[in-house]
Amino acid sequence: MKRVAIVTGAAKPDSIGFAVAQGLIEEGCEVAVADLYTEGFAALPGLCVKTDVADPVSVSELIEKTIQVFGRIDILVNCVGGSWGITERDLRSPPRPTFLGLTNCELADWRTILGANLDSAFYCCRAAAPYLKKQGGAIVNLSSVAARKGIPPGALGSSGPYAVAKAGIMALTRQLALELGEFGVRVNCVAPGVIASGRLGKVLQLSGKDRGPEGPLSQIPMGRVGTVAEAAALIVALCTDDTAYMTGVTVDINGASYAA
């Protein structure tokens, strides 16, 4: 029987989520994609569900639809995130030409950014857990190097609330690993550094070629940004039996930028 995976934030062809969905399909999985970017659904085979993952009702509808179509859930990958392009209103907008700090952001910005980056993963994990517990499975959450080192003020298109939310993802992962381990459900986290996605391209148009959303690109010891394919390959591996005894872990993929 084919394993069934849900991947959130996977509809944009230049995103990590899209590459993860493709990688899981290549692994033989049935994949359900959840996103607000419906324009990307045509490029994906299988089930695509318009979902606002910051809304627990919308998440419940996603889970119900997946069960109706496939009858089970084995894998959940939470790829939705960002400081912008995370609501239906701003999904197709360029990044804001500013940095939103913790002391100067609007309360609405705080709630929106935490909703898309942290609440969303909690809602999806909570809703999928009863089905994952039936036979075991894997959850992979996406954090960020920003959770390790913060984001320097002046990093255009990014925000302090994003760094806080992504730190919360690491704690969410550890706690879920403790709660779900006895059911054979592994929960891990991947914390990418700067990745050459479509989102990065839009930020660089705003900030200049040497300043990414987490700071100057020249400070990355490996001398380059990561690729979508590199990040996706790691995430897919954490969904497979090759990592069957690995849980509660955050894996960094950032070219040593955290260590610098």
Residues recognised as catalytic: 162
For 158, phi and psi rounded to 5 degrees? Answer: -125, -175
Please choose, from the candidates 186, 32, 59, the residue with its C-alpha nearest in 3D space to the C-alpha of residue 123: 59
Q: What's the CA gap between 66 and 63, in Å, rounded?
A: 5
Q: What is the DSSP letter of 69?
A: H
d(CA 252, CA 233): 13
> Rounded CA gap, 167 and 170, in Å?
5
| CA-wise closest residue to 32 among 116, 130, 124 | 124
Distance, C-alpha 250 to centroid of its chain = 13
- What is the pairing mode between strands 137-142 and 75-78? parallel
Query: CB burial class (10 A; 0-12, 13-18, 19+) of residue 42?
Result: exposed
Residues 6+ apart with CB under 8 A from 77: 5, 6, 7, 8, 10, 17, 20, 24, 139, 140, 142, 235, 239
With a CB cutoff of 8 Å and minimum separation 6, the contacts of 117 are 80, 81, 82, 86, 162, 165, 166, 168, 169
